[in-house]
């Protein structure tokens, strides 16, 4: 990747014309070792980079849809209770224990 940008007079790397050029220096490059490009060539490189980006974005997989929140149950009215299914009240004795007879 490029580390810094400079401006010098020299030959364009792409078309070979002489004149002011933007120089892109990589890691460890010294003067006159970077990639030199004139304005028209660097504009074309920029347009080519935009085209490549458009192709990359078009090929990218679609993002997954965010899950929808589940709905909360209504709290206004309670749910219906099932009818009683045990023995009838006449078949069952009292739950209160019988009182002990009073000693006299």
Confirm whether 50 is domain-assigned. Answer: yes
Confirm whether 74 is domain-assigned. Answer: no
Q: Is the pTM of this model over 0.95?
A: no
In angstroms, the CA 42 to CA 31 distance is: 19
Task: List the pLDDT tens digit at each of the 104 positions of the chain.
Answer: 778 888 989 899 899 999 999 988 887 766 557 888 999 999 999 999 999 999 888 877 777 777 888 877 667 666 677 887 877 777 776 677 777 777 65
What pLDDT score was predicted for residue 31?
57
What pLDDT score was predicted for residue 78?
64
Confirm whether 25 is domain-assigned. Answer: yes
Confirm whether 14 is domain-assigned. Answer: yes
Domain hosting 18: range is 2-59
Residue with tokens 């009073």: 102
Confirm whether 28 is domain-assigned. Answer: yes
How many domains does the chain contain in total?
1
Question: What is the DSSP code (8-state) at residue 93?
Answer: -
What pLDDT score was predicted for residue 51?
93
What pLDDT score was predicted for residue 90?
75
In angstroms, the CA 31 to CA 38 distance is: 17
Question: What is the DSSP code (8-state) at residue 69?
Answer: P
Q: How far is CA 57 from CA 32, 43, 45, 53, 66, in A?
A: 35, 21, 18, 6, 20
């Amino acid at each position: 990747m490029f580390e810094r940008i400079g401006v010098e007079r020299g030959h364009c790397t792409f078309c070979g014309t002489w004149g002011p050029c933007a120089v892109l220096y990589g890691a460890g490059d010294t003067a006159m070792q970077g990639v030199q490009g004139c304005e028209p060539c660097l504009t074309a490189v920029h347009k080519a980079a935009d085209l490549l980006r458009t192709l990359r974005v078009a090929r990218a997989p679609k993002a997954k849809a965010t899950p929808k929140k589940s709905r909360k149950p209504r709290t206004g009215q309670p749910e219906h209770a099932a009818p009683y299914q045990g023995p009838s009240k006449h078949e069952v004795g009292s739950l209160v224990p019988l009182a002990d007879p009073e000693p006299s």
